[in-house]
Amino acid sequence: MAGYIESLLGEREKIISISHQHWFILVSAIVAEIVIILILITLTVIAGTNLPQFALLIGAVGAILILLPLSTMIRDILDWINRQYIVTNRRVIQISGILNKNVTDSSLVKVTDVQMEQSALGRLFDYGDIEILTASELGANLFRRIEDPIHFKIAMLNAKEHLEHGEETISSSEDIPGLIASLDQLHQMGILSDEEFQQKKSDLLARM
């Protein structure tokens, strides 16, 4: 999965934070399946004990029935693992899907507001909802029951602040032309307006 994430990054783009949905989501998804598996095992054992002449057939049928909730549980686990929320120094990326991937980006320069909601239980177990409001066509992007939402929100706001002030990692003035080129790419893609591009370009040139 790490290799897939790296393949999504642009030049000079760096991962700041990676989060998942809270483990409550995973537990709530598989608890019913675990109960069903235990019930099927119990019924198979009881039936095989009471009908020893059909024990082999009952065991085979029971095994087939157990495979159904087991496969669903494995799917839910893989879905939880592969659903990730990533903050980079340029955008927020939401990835979902096991084999077929669904990737949604929210450019930090287009983020207008970030709202966080935590219930009393969410504060106790450290999960909550994060809603990202953007000026793009996507509008709002809602992440439900994300783990450690305060850390995620702070990481995103700090990355946005650094990007707006041209404070991406710059080791020397020789790196500034490369950063201007990256901003120009964002400008050509329509992510940065003419005014935003010129302002950021001026700020970077002033630091040379």
If you search the block for the tokens 């290799």, which residue do you land on? 3
Task: For residue range 131-189, list pLDDT tens digits in order.
Answer: 988 876 666 788 999 999 999 999 998 888 888 776 554 444 445 676 777 777 777 76
- What percent of the chain has pLDDT above 70? 87
Q: Note whether 162 and 174 are same-domain residues.
A: no
Domain extent at residue 180: 170-208
What is the value of pTM for the model shown?
Answer: 0.69
> Residue 159 class from Cβ within 10 Å (0-12 exposed, 13-18 middle, 19+ buried)?
buried
For residue 171, what are its two tokens? 């080791």
Position 128 pLDDT exceeds 90: yes
Compute CA 2 distance to the chain's CA centroid, rounded to the nearest angstrom.
13
The residue from 60, 80, 100 where one domain ends is 80
Whether residues 99 and 67 share a domain: the answer is: no
Structure tokens at 126: 């450290």
List, for residues 64-107, the tens digit of each pLDDT value.
Answer: 999 999 999 999 999 999 999 999 999 999 999 988 999 988 88
- The angle subtended at Cα 138 by Cα 134 and Cα 142, nearest 5°, is 75
